Structure formats: structure tokens, C-alpha cells
Structure 1
Amino acid sequence: MNRVRALAALLLINGLLAVLLLTLFRIQVVSSRDWSARRIDLVAASVAQRRQGVELNDGRGVFTDRYGRRLTGFDDWALAVFPEAAKADEEQLSRLRSLIGAGKEQWDAFIRLAKLPAYWPGGDGTPGKTPAPLPEKTALALRALNVPGVRVVKAGRRYEPSIGARHWIGYVSEDPGRAAAEYGLAVSGDGPRLPAGAYRIGGAGLERTFDRFIRSAAPSMLYRFVDGRGEPYPGLGLRQSQPERSSAPLAVRLTMDLDIQRLAEAALDAYRVRRGAVVVLDVRTSDILAMASRPDYSPYDVNPADGRWRNQAVSAAIPGSVFKTVVAAAALEAEAAEPDEIFGCSGSLGRYGFHCWKPHGHGILTFREGFAQSCNLVFAEAMRRLTTGQLERMAAQLGIGRRVGWSEDGWMQLDGEDAGQLFGSGTDKDDDGVRVQTAIGQRDVRMTPLQGAQLAAMIARGGSALEARSATEVRFAGGRLLRRFEPHALAGPHGRGGISPAVARTLREWMRDVVLEGTGQALQRARWPLAGKSGTAVEPSARTADGRAGEQLEHHWFIGYGPADRPRYAVAVLAADVKAGSGHRAVPLFGRVMDGLAAYEENRAH
């Protein structure tokens, strides 16, 4: 009996050893490049653990503007320094320091800090991953020195500060959690450590929404092999990896016009907008030509908590009187009020604490004049003639309370676009006090600058609704088309978006009145005849630590188009968090953007 048991135990042990050997054979030979459901490349992971170096290029595809001008992905001469440089000849190092303008103490401090290969960054001499560009003449002279442990290379830089559009384009970050969830990559504790850059993924903006098109499996690197102590293997020298990208889609062509983007950002900075946005659309197509946002941020130094990276152009804010355009459209469409119908404004509704912005009122005026003068009491009365459902349907047809960016099968080109709203959760939508506040774009109403520009574009082109495109196509490295994003109509709640041509025509006349005799008269000095609608929204007062009311802030808006007689551009501007009583910031900001567009058109014509 004991011999039988011993034989059975021996067979079991041999079976287990056979299974173990087969598993090892599968891991090391059969599936070494495609291990487990996560498809882990064990060979690449093993090699990566023995490599130290600097990244030459992140391998990601690039964004270009509508004319093919590159917006991301630039190459510069740079100085890559490996720890072996500490042992270089002092005479060579002295000549090197002279060429890069570094003192001996600065260079020595850099070498002490650079425990791993790093780029010479200039400035304070702190080792960096992002290379400092070198003039070509300096680069060639450094290359001729042939200092051990130092290499002059062409290094990639993802972003160029002068390009701007940082909120629209977004940023890239190392995010193992999202990379694992979206691409099935192994994370720490759940598989081998993957090559550098494997967890890099679009963190926000177009970098995030187009990540599946432009993501790189691995960057190209200049590296050396090291042993377990981190010492370089003798005789192997420096090597360069270049991932295969022969068929990868590399270029996403945006609707952006880089010149218009720059003038929009310059306008925000000229008026010192601390939080706000400018959106410029092509009236004919609703393609986004510019989308500028403030406050600014660096895509190389992102603090997710401070929100500076958030695109204010697609973030909802209280719109104030620009929302009266929606109420006017609803009233005209429902024939609840006639353009020449007479209204009266005494300055106060007499209830709910509801007042007109003009203390003693506008007196007697027509619906049309009420729009030009932005009379609160006229629009409170117009709202009372509408049902809540009528306003909600019109808002949806005009793109308020829904996302208006280009989308297909649940995928959206724009990242983080707010839908906005008319009423908050739990609000009694049929309460009279709620409705009159809603009529003037206060209380719960929220909309984005992009929605404001869309509203102006719809009216300017006769009422038809189109989704706002950010990109038109994606092409492979060799130029072959991968995907084209055709224009999409913006559907309404009952299939038809936008408004009737007759209502659009009326609103075009009224928006021109705003400039000729209403709240936008300062725009009469513009280079083009303009049309639009102003808005001032009161931000609910914040409280100080001891419970007192804080400083009253306002959001200043203007939406419109130009030239008024032949609309080419639709523009929305928002200057948020402006101190109350400091003058309307959005009207001159809108004028500056439009004057810039007029100059741009004149330059193109010559």
C-alpha cells in the first residue's frame, strides 16, 4: 500500500513539474510578446527595466490647424547628459560650459543632481525631462567636442508656448489607472513594469478625446543598458530606439485658424480677463476657428486641483441678458408677443424683489425696443405669456441645455463640454418668481460661451442649426486619409434644430438695433457694422469667514456676428468675475476681437 501511495505522489509531483515547465515555456517563448488578457509584452518590459536614457520623441501624433500649420510636436537641438559626463576631461568640460553659457559651479551642481540621464535645461541648472532648445551653431560646436557622456540630439517638444490654444488642445499626463482601464495595460502590482511612456495618455482637451487616434505605444529614446546596481554595461555604449510607426495615424487637422486663435487670446490679455473666454465660429459651418480661455496654464506643469487647465469656453456660467435672445425667439415663434407691441417699464415688478437694471425704468417701449435696451420687465412679461415647456423646447432647439459640439455614436470631439441648464434640480419650474428670473438669464440658467457663439451663428445664417466642429480629418503618416468628420446638423427635441427663417430675420434686425441704439452702442466705432446682444449676470454673493457678504462679482457677456450685412464670423465673449460697477468689459472685448477679424480679412485680401 505504501509503495502505491509513493508512486501516486511521484506521479503527481511529475505532473505539477510538467505543468510548471509548460507554463514557463509559454511565458518565455510562445507568449512572451502577448502575455495574459492584458497583452503584456514581457520582452519589452524586461528590456525597459535595464534601460536608462532620455526621451527623444513621445511618438504621439500631432495636431495641425486648418491650413496644416503644426500645433504640437516640435524638434529642437538639445544637450543630453549621462552620469558618465562627470568623469570627462576638464578641458573639454570647460569648452562645453563656455558654449552653453554655464559656470563651473552651475555645471557641477547639475551633475550632482543628475543621478539619471537628463537634458541640460539652462536656467538654474536643474536636470529636466523637457529639453532647452540650442541654437544650431551651438549644437554643431558641442557635437564637435565629443565629450564622453554628452550627446547633442534632436529632441521632441510637445508644446510651443507661442502657439497658445492650451485649453483647447489640452495636455498629456502619466495616468496608469486610466491607461489600464482604456487600453488594458498592466499597472504596478498587476504585471511587469512597462516601458517608459506606456502609461502616457491624454489628460484633457483634444489630447484626451483624440487619444485613441494619436497615442503612441512607446517613445523613441537615447539610452544605455545598466546592471542591477545601475552601472552601465561596458562596451555597449548608447543606443537609440525608434518604434515602428509606418502606418500609424499621425495628423489631426483642426478647424482652428491659428491667426484667429492668437488674436482671440491677445484680446483676453489686453483686457486683463482673469477668468473668461472668446469663441469664434465660421457662420456658414459653425466650425470653431478660435476658442481661447483664461486663466492660462502650462501643459508641462498641471495642477488638476486648481482648475486653471479647464476650458472656460465650454464651461457653463450665468448668462444674464444674452439669454433674452432665447426668450425672444420663443415668444416670436409662439406668437406670444408682436415686435411692435407696447410694454411698460416702471423699474420694478413690485414683487420677488425683481427690478429692471435701469432704476427708474424705461417707460413705454415696444418688444423690439425692449430687446435693444435689454429691459428686464419687458422680458418678465414675455415669459409670463409662454409656458415653461415652450421655453424649454426653444432652448433645446437653439442648443441651450445640451452639448453642441460635434459628436457621433457617443464620441465627442470636445472634452468637458457642459450642457448648461434652464432650471436646477428640485426647482419649481412653474413658479412665477422662478420664471421671471429665468427670463433674464439669472437664477438657475447656465450656458457656455460656445453655446452663445452657436446661438449667434444660427441667427446670422438664417436659423439652421449645426454642431460645432473642432476637427475635420485624421491622416496617416504618408498622407492617406483615415477618417473625415463631416458636418452634422444639430437636431432639436422634435427632429428640427434652430429657428424659422422669419424669426431669425427678425432677431438679426433686433441684434443690429442693440448696436445702433441699445446697450452695444460703443460698437458703432468698430471697423465693421456689427450686431449682437449684451449680458450682465450677477454672481450670487460669496460669504467671508465671519459670515458677511463678500465682494459682488458680475459676468459680462456679448454675443454677436459681423459684418452685419454679410455675416462671416459669430463671436461670443465672456469676462467673468468682474467687480460690480467697474464698467462692462465684454462690449469693448467683443469690439477688439471683431476689429482683429476685420484686419485679418483685409490682410488676406491683399
Structure 2
Amino acid sequence: MKKRLYILLSIVLILFGILIYRLADIQLFSTKSFGPDNVNLLERSVAQRSHQMVLSTGRGQILSRQGEPLTNKKIFDIILFPKLNAEQTYKKISGVLNISAQSLQKKIHNLDQPAFLTSLMDTSIKSEQFNELKKMDLKGIRLMERFKNEDPQLAQHLLGFVRQNPALYQKRYDENSQKETVPVGISGLQEAFDPFLVAQEQEKLLFHVDGHGRPMFGFDLKYAGDNNHFYPAKIKTTLDVPLQKKAEDLFNQYEVNQGGLVLLDVQSRDVLAMVSRPNVDTENPYGNDSIRNHTITADFPGSVFKTVIAAAAIEKGLVDEPRSFNCSKGVYGEEEADRDLGRLNFKQSFAQSCNRTFAKLALELMESDRQIIDKYAKKLGIIGPVGWSGDVFRYEDFTQIPDEEQGTIWADESDRHVKDAIFQTAIGQKNVKVTPLAAANMMANIANNGKRQDARIADQILYQNGAEMASFSQKNNKDKEQQISPLTAKRLRSLLKLVTGNSGTASTLGELPIAGKTGTAELNIDDDEKIEFENSWFVGYFPEKKPKYAMAVVDLRHKPGAQTHHLQIYKKMADAILKKNE
């Protein structure tokens, strides 16, 4: 029994000795190189007591034409710490911010690490509230200004989205580094200008905490970040925030399921507003193709395309003499038309959108030149792409709208020789597709005496300190062979005004100084005779006498006969702009 006791005591002493040695090794002998992995225990100990709050991902901002940040907006915030007994502080904060003190204290009690108040309570802090809080003696919190990175609520499709995508980062920048975890632009301007906007380094606030996550205020808060005054850059867009908000409010009001709006400045071709529906599913942007921007997607324009046939017919002298067309007949000249319009001259045919007139004119034009429709579509700029492109900074052939689709006229070259195919093409059916952006730009070309220009979404690239890195100067197409004549543009303007007149297809817009063209395209999804969907368009410019704005509004893929609101949206948008400029 005594011998067993000695053996047990010896084992305990040996184990105790091993434990003492292990502790000594950890705390004294191997603090900088512990174990087979040579772990620096001192650094790990500091890291365990350290915490960081990201103030900015470091990504560049996108600005409105007024210089207002549209992404990475700077906000006022408060850092809250867990398990702090600061009841009076939280009551003061609740009083200033007009939030529930009980709810705030409950959420703070459940914290296991520091958090931003705006994220915790899903609220915002105004500048006057922030300044009021700064004057108070608030213990246990930190007042901060930071950049909030979130998906855009305004102009979603135009601005685009940012996501983490290591494979895309490596493909785009061909780098093997930790920067592969940096978020990249996956759509819109975020994608187009990603090389200028991509983050260089995060901005962080570093501090120490105790074992409960509470701050050790004996240590100074430290800032870690990139103090580069040049990068990342800022992109100053042409977007007019009040007009963008007005356009989006109208689309929400009328609950447009699929469609869009483009508003251009006629002289500069700046994109002032761009709306696409449906809204993007932020949880799954590519699900149901919600990330698609319908204003730069080519679709069937219907009678909007008759503007091209009209321009060609005017310049080729087919409508100079008095001439009438049988508009009681359908597009092929054999069947009865859906609308019995009787015999109409060229101007009346355009105003009332007579299919037979433009089918007949297109056939006559094609008999003399099989390329003529293509030529005039190009002269008017309706086929596109029309987004600004050129050399900028260190990039050649830079494109502001890389996802813009190019329109089409013919899918099969043999259709140029098929009468029925020509008839359908003349009225914007068959294989004719254009984007709303290109259609709006065509109207701007006509309103500006036929002068072709690119549509511009960004005006400048600015360094971080606000100095100009590059600008996107507008380029006029000076080749007169590539545009319609001023006289043709003038005659087209008179036709477009008739459309909104008393007998026109958009007479509901007549009380405002608007000129333009309606379009309805019929879509047969299964190649049978049944019409599955329709596209409804109105593209035009205003004010009619001295045009300043060109705009396209489209309601896409709606059921035949369904109530559409594209004309109401156009009217209310134009009315708001005209009243603003009075």
C-alpha cells in the first residue's frame, strides 16, 4: 500500500513538472516561436484583445452630376460596445435619435462584439443629431463618420452592383494576391469603371478589448487605411438625382412590370435619368435576369421604326408630290386593316401610323437599293450602339456602356428580297430590334438638325482629392454622309408633332409641347399566329419648338389589350421637367 502511494505521488509530481514546463515554455521560452508552426504567441495575444471596425472598403465613389455621392455614401454613426453599464448614455442617444431606449438597451445587452448603431437599429443619424450628440458627455460609446457600402436604391441598373468574386478579380487584373478578395463591379457603371473604382486598401479603426469584448479605453483608438490622395478614383456621372427619383416614382406608381425610361439632354446627350424594370433581386441578381437593363437591351420597336422609312422616303423624293395611300388595307395590301383609316396622304399616314403606307414605301425604296433601310437606320443612329466610346486615360476604346446591345434589321440576308419580309420590317416587326437608349438618341439627332452624337453617362473621372484625371468630351459626327440633312430633320419634326396632334396616335400628349412617335410591337413567342405579348413605346422630344430633352418610355412584354401607362408616364415626366424649367 505504501509503495503504491509513492508511485502515485511520483506520477503526480511528474505531471505537475510537465505542466510547469509547458507553462514556462508558453510564457517565457517560446513566446515568439511556439510549436511546430512557429506561432508568435505575443502577436496572437495582442490580436485576441484587438478589434477592428471597417470605416470604408476603400472603393471609389460614383457621383451625380451635382456631385452628390450615389455609392459609398458617408454617414454618421456610433460604435456600441457589449456589456457596458451606460444606461444614461443610451437614454440620451435614444432621446436625440427618437428611438426606443428599451429596444436599444436590449440589443446592446445581446451583443457579443462591437457594432455600429445604424446597422443594429436599422436607422440613420442626421448631421444635426450627430452634432448634438457630440456636445454631450457620452460614456461607453464612440461617435464616428464612415462610408456605408450597400446596394443602390436609386438607378440600380445604371449604377450596377459590387460583389466578391475572386475568379473575376484574377481574370480582370491578372493578380495572385490577397486582393483577390476585394469586391469587384459586376454590372452597370460599377463594372464599366471598375479599374478606376477598385479598392486599394480598407480604412479601419483599431482598438483593444477585454475578455468580454469591452473596450480598454486606456489604449488610443488607431486609424489604419490608405491615405492616397489619388486612388481610388471617383466617377462623376451625368445623372440628375431629382429627375431620376421622379422617373422611378412614376414607374412605381404605375407598377410597370417590365420596361424602362431614358432621358437625354439634346445638346450634350447626357443621360439625365435611366430607369429599368423589374428591380434587381439583390439576393440573386442573375436570377430571372432581373439584372438586365432594358433600356440598353434591343427589343421590337413596332411603328417607332417607321421614322427610318419616313426619312429615307423624304430624301429619295417619294413623298414630295401629292400622293395618297389606301389605309383601309392591312400591311400586305390584301387583308382589311384593323383600323379603317380610308385614304391618307403621307403626313396623315405618319400621324395615324398607317402600316400600309410605310410597307409600300419600304418596298419602293428596297427595289432601288437593297441597303437603303440599313443606311438610314445608321444615319439616324437607331441601330446603335450609341454609348460613349473612345480613348481615355490609359485605356483605348473605352466604353461607358459595355453591356449595350446593338440593334438588328435583318436576321436573314434573303429577307431583303422577300416582299412580305420587307413589309414587316418597315413597321418595326419581323427581326427589327432597337434599344430604348438608341431610340431616344435618334429623337435627339432629329431634334438637333440631324447631328449625330454619342450618349454619355459619365462626364469626368476625378482623383480622390477632386482633381480631374480625365473627361469625356463629346464628339460630333462631322461626316454629313452619315447623317440626315437639316431639311430632312425639319420635315421629320413636323411629322412627329402631328403624332401628338388631334388626329395622331398620341393625341393625349397634345396639351404639352411634345413631339414623337408611338410604337406597338406584337410578339409571337411560339411562331404561331397567336399574339402572346406586346411592346408599347413612345419616343420623342420636348419642348417641341426649342427641344432640350429627348426621352423614350417603354412598357414591354404585356398581354395584348392590357392597360398600359407609357403615355401617362411620358406626359407626367415631361410636365414635371417643363414646369421645373419655367
Q: Report the TM-score, using the length of structure 1 for normalisation.
A: 0.76
Partner residue of 2:85 out of 69, 82, 89 = 89
Q: How does 1:104-503 map to 2 (within 5 A)?
A: 117-121=114-118, 132-133=124-125, 137=129, 141=133, 144-147=137-140, 150-158=141-149, 164-186=154-176, 193-194=178-179, 198-224=181-207, 238-248=221-231, 250-297=233-280, 301=283, 303-338=285-320, 340-349=322-331, 356-358=337-339, 361-387=340-366, 388-408=370-390, 409-424=396-411, 428-490=415-477, 496-503=481-488
| Structure 1 contact 460–561 (Cα < 8 Å) conserved | yes
Could you say if the C-alpha distance between residues 55 and 496 of structure 1 is closer, same or farther in structure 2, counting changes exceeding 3 Å? farther
Q: Distance in 2 between matches of 1:233 and 1:178?
A: 41
Q: 2:489 aligns to what?
A: 504
User: Residue 233 of structure 1: CA displacement?
Assistant: 11
User: Residue 137 of structure 1: CA displacement?
Assistant: 3.7
User: Residue 483 of structure 1: CA displacement?
Assistant: 0.7
Partner residue of 2:510 out of 524, 536, 551 = 524
Corresponding position: 1:598 with 2:578: yes
Amino acid at match of 1:379: F
**CA deviation vs aligned residue, 1:426-456 (integer Å, no higher than 9, x gap):** 8744322222111111122111111111111
Q: Distance in 2 between matches of 1:452 and 1:438?
A: 16
Q: Distance in 1 between matches of 2:409 and 2:336?
A: 20
| Structure 2 contact 152–161 (Cα < 8 Å) conserved | no
Could you say if the C-alpha distance between residues 220 and 249 of structure 1 is closer, same or farther in structure 2, counting changes exceeding 3 Å? closer
Q: Distance in 2 between matches of 1:350 and 1:160?
A: 50
User: Residue 537 of structure 1: CA displacement?
Assistant: 1.3
| Structure 1 contact 79–120 (Cα < 8 Å) conserved | yes
Corresponding position: 1:563 with 2:543: yes
Amino acid at match of 1:319: P
Three-state SS of the structure 2 residue aligned to 1:385 is: helix
Q: Distance in 1 between matches of 2:332 and 2:188?
A: 47
User: Residue 317 of structure 1: CA displacement?
Assistant: 1.6
Q: Distance in 1 between matches of 2:415 and 2:387?
A: 29
**CA deviation vs aligned residue, 1:494-545 (integer Å, no higher than 9, x gap):** x84321122211111111111123111111222xx221111111232479xx
User: Residue 467 of structure 1: CA displacement?
Assistant: 0.6
Q: Distance in 1 between matches of 2:321 and 2:79?
A: 70
| Structure 2 contact 415–422 (Cα < 8 Å) conserved | no
Q: Distance in 1 between matches of 2:49 and 2:409?
A: 58
The runs of 5 or more residues in structure 2 that have no matched partner are: 1-45, 391-395
Q: How does 1:8-27 map to 2 (within 5 A)?
A: none
Q: 2:30 aligns to what?
A: none
Could you say if the C-alpha distance between residues 354 and 175 of structure 1 is closer, same or farther in structure 2, counting changes exceeding 3 Å? farther
How many percent of aligned residue pairs carry the same amino acid?
Answer: 30
Q: Distance in 2 between matches of 1:266 and 1:487?
A: 30
User: Residue 595 of structure 1: CA displacement?
Assistant: 0.8
The runs of 5 or more residues in structure 1 that have no matched partner are: 1-46
Amino acid at match of 2:357: V
Task: Work out which of the two has the higher radius of gyration on C-alpha atoms and give 1 or 2.
Answer: 2
Q: Distance in 1 between matches of 2:543 and 2:217?
A: 70
User: Residue 134 of structure 1: CA displacement?
Assistant: 6.5
| Structure 1 contact 454–468 (Cα < 8 Å) conserved | yes
Q: 2:43 aligns to what?
A: none
Amino acid at match of 1:179: Y
Q: 1:29 aligns to what?
A: none
Q: 1:13 aligns to what?
A: none
| Structure 2 contact 182–199 (Cα < 8 Å) conserved | no
Q: 1:79 aligns to what?
A: 78
Could you say if the C-alpha distance between residues 263 and 498 of structure 1 is closer, same or farther in structure 2, counting changes exceeding 3 Å? farther
Could you say if the C-alpha distance between residues 442 and 111 of structure 1 is closer, same or farther in structure 2, counting changes exceeding 3 Å? farther
| Structure 2 contact 91–101 (Cα < 8 Å) conserved | no
Q: 1:26 aligns to what?
A: none
User: Residue 314 of structure 1: CA displacement?
Assistant: 1.1
Three-state SS of the structure 1 residue aligned to 2:547 is: coil
Deviates more, 1:363-372 or 1:61-70: 61-70
User: Residue 62 of structure 1: CA displacement?
Assistant: 2.4
**CA deviation vs aligned residue, 1:455-495 (integer Å, no higher than 9, x gap):** 11111111110011112222223332211111123588xx8
| Structure 1 contact 419–447 (Cα < 8 Å) conserved | yes
Could you say if the C-alpha distance between residues 208 and 365 of structure 1 is closer, same or farther in structure 2, counting changes exceeding 3 Å? same
**CA deviation vs aligned residue, 1:312-371 (integer Å, no higher than 9, x gap):** 2212221111111112112223334447422112333568x976441xx32211122111
Q: 2:11 aligns to what?
A: none
Q: Distance in 1 between matches of 2:342 and 2:522?
A: 24
Amino acid at match of 1:534: T
Q: Report the TM-score, using the length of structure 2 for normalisation.
A: 0.79
Q: Distance in 2 between matches of 1:309 and 1:48?
A: 41
Amino acid at match of 1:270: Q
Corresponding position: 1:63 with 2:62: yes
Q: Distance in 2 between matches of 1:522 and 1:277?
A: 20
Deviates more, 1:49-58 or 1:309-318: 49-58
The number of residue pairs the alignment matches comes to 524
Q: 1:7 aligns to what?
A: none
Q: 2:6 aligns to what?
A: none
Three-state SS of the structure 1 residue aligned to 2:482 is: coil
Could you say if the C-alpha distance between residues 136 and 515 of structure 1 is closer, same or farther in structure 2, counting changes exceeding 3 Å? closer
Amino acid at match of 1:174: Q
Three-state SS of the structure 2 residue aligned to 1:180 is: helix
Corresponding position: 1:536 with 2:527: no
Three-state SS of the structure 2 residue aligned to 1:185 is: coil
Q: Distance in 2 between matches of 1:600 and 1:430?
A: 50
Three-state SS of the structure 2 residue aligned to 1:525 is: coil
Three-state SS of the structure 2 residue aligned to 1:534 is: strand
Give the CA RMSD over aligned residues. Answer: 3.7
User: Residue 588 of structure 1: CA displacement?
Assistant: 2.5
User: Residue 581 of structure 1: CA displacement?
Assistant: 1.7
**CA deviation vs aligned residue, 1:553-606 (integer Å, no higher than 9, x gap):** 32111111111111111111112233322345322222212111111111xxxx
Could you say if the C-alpha distance between residues 239 and 572 of structure 1 is closer, same or farther in structure 2, counting changes exceeding 3 Å? same
Q: Distance in 2 between matches of 1:487 and 1:94?
A: 54
User: Residue 373 of structure 1: CA displacement?
Assistant: 0.8
Could you say if the C-alpha distance between residues 117 and 90 of structure 1 is closer, same or farther in structure 2, counting changes exceeding 3 Å? closer
Q: Which 4+ residue blocks in structure 1 deviate beyond 6 angstroms?
A: 47-51, 103-106, 230-237
Three-state SS of the structure 1 residue aligned to 2:581 is: helix
Amino acid at match of 2:522: V
**CA deviation vs aligned residue, 1:12-43 (integer Å, no higher than 9, x gap):** xxxxxxxxxxxxxxxxxxxxxxxxxxxxxxxx
Q: Distance in 1 between matches of 2:271 and 2:198?
A: 24
Q: Distance in 2 between matches of 1:78 and 1:135?
A: 10
User: Residue 216 of structure 1: CA displacement?
Assistant: 2.1
Could you say if the C-alpha distance between residues 562 and 91 of structure 1 is closer, same or farther in structure 2, counting changes exceeding 3 Å? closer
Could you say if the C-alpha distance between residues 326 and 48 of structure 1 is closer, same or farther in structure 2, counting changes exceeding 3 Å? farther
